[in-house]
């Protein structure tokens, strides 16, 4: 169910960007509409996995990509925890609207950019890349 901000969507850039409130009980693009608890558990698992893996990160790029995914997962997880009647069954608040695309939020953007960044890094050769420990010295 979509509820518009105060008196409807707010135009930020005419024809390109609006703030438009909606609640998403599922995942991206309206998939898994009643999957909030499962998605919340998946966010907890991803968070734990990333936190565990952080000690093995070798490059600044990996750290940035993982931090973006972690921040996005925690942002959406927070919505699921605080906005529902039970544990993890709350809706995520989406408010960014662009043409021909479902509403999304900053957390979704962080996850997407982080994953794309990590995928791009995986295609690069690791020769000549600076490690986190080298950059600290």
Model confidence pLDDT, tens digit, residues 110-126 = 999 999 999 999 888 55
Our answer to whether residue 14 is catalytic in this structure is no
**Residue 131 within a domain:** yes
Q: In the prediction, which pLDDT does 42 show?
A: 86
| Predicted pLDDT at 87 | 80
In a domain, 24, yes or no: yes
pLDDT in tens, 41-100: 888 998 999 999 998 998 999 999 999 999 999 999 999 889 888 788 888 889 999 999
Identify which has the larger pLDDT, 49 or 34. Answer: 49
Q: Is the dihedral of CA 105, 111, 115, 120 positive or negative?
A: positive
Calculate mean pLDDT across residues 9-14.
90
Tell me whether residue 89 is one of the annotated catalytic residues. Answer: no
Number of domains in the chain: 1
Residue 3, domain member (yes or no) = no
* Residue 104: domain span: 10-136
**What is the predicted pLDDT for the residue at 2?**
46
Assess if residue 66 is contained within a domain.
yes
Report yes or no: 80 and 47 within 8 Å, Cβ to Cβ.
no
Residue 2 within any structural domain of the chain: no
Of 14, 79, 89, 94, the catalytic one is: 94
Cβ–Cβ under 8 Å, residues 70 and 44: no
- Dist. CA 3–CA 52, nearest whole Å: 38
């Amino acid at each position: 169910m979509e509820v518009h901000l105060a008196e409807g969507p707010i135009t930020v850039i005419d024809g390109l960007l609006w703030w438009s409130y909606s609640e998403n009980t599922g995942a991206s693009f309206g998939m898994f509409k009643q999957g909030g608890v499962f998605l919340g558990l998946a966010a907890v698992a991803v968070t734990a996995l990333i936190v565990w893996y952080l000690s093995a990160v070798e490059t600044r790029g990996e750290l940035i990509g993982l931090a973006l995914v972690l921040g996005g997962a925690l942002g959406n997880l927070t919505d699921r925890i605080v906005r529902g009647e039970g544990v993890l069954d709350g809706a995520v608040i989406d408010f960014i609207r662009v043409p021909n695309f479902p509403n999304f939020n900053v957390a979704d953007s962080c996850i997407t950019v982080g994953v794309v960044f990590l995928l791009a890094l995986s295609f690069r050769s690791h020769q000549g890349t600076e490690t986190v420990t080298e950059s600290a010295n």
